[in-house]
Amino acid sequence: MTTPQQKPILLTGASGNLGRVLARELAAQGYTLRLTDLTPFPDDLPPGATFTKADLNDGVTILQLAEGCHSILHFGGASVDLPFEVVLGPNLRGMYHVYEAARREGARVLFASSNHSIGFHERPTGNEAKLDADCAFRPDSFYGLSKAYGELMGRLYWDKHGVENLNVRIGSSFPEPIDARMLSTWLSFQDLARLCAAFIEAPKVGHAVVWGASKNATTFWGADHRDRIGWEPQDSSDAFQDKVGNIFSGNPVVERYQGGGYTGNSYSRSQPSPRDAFDLDE
Compute φ and ψ for 117, nearest 5 degrees.
-75, -20
Distance of CA 93 to the CA centre of its chain: 17
Distance of CA 172 to the CA centre of its chain: 10
- What single-letter DSSP state applies at residue 122? B
- What single-letter DSSP state applies at residue 90? I
Residues contacting residue 192 through CB under 8 Å, at least 6 positions apart: 18, 21, 22, 170, 173, 212
User: Which strand (E) or helix (H) includes residue 100?
Assistant: helix 94-105
C-alpha distances (whole Å) from 241 to each of 128, 246, 259, 260, 274 are 21, 8, 20, 18, 31
Q: Which residues pair with 113 in a beta bridge?
A: 169
DSSP string, 12-49: ESTTSHHHHHHHHHHHHTT--EEEEESS---SPPPTT-
Which residue among the candidates 143, 149, 157, 262 is catalytic per the annotation? 143
- Residue 133's CB is within 10 A of a number of other CB atoms, namely 17
Residues contacting residue 249 through CB under 8 Å, at least 6 positions apart: 179, 181, 255, 260, 261, 264
Active site residue 257: no
Active site members: 143
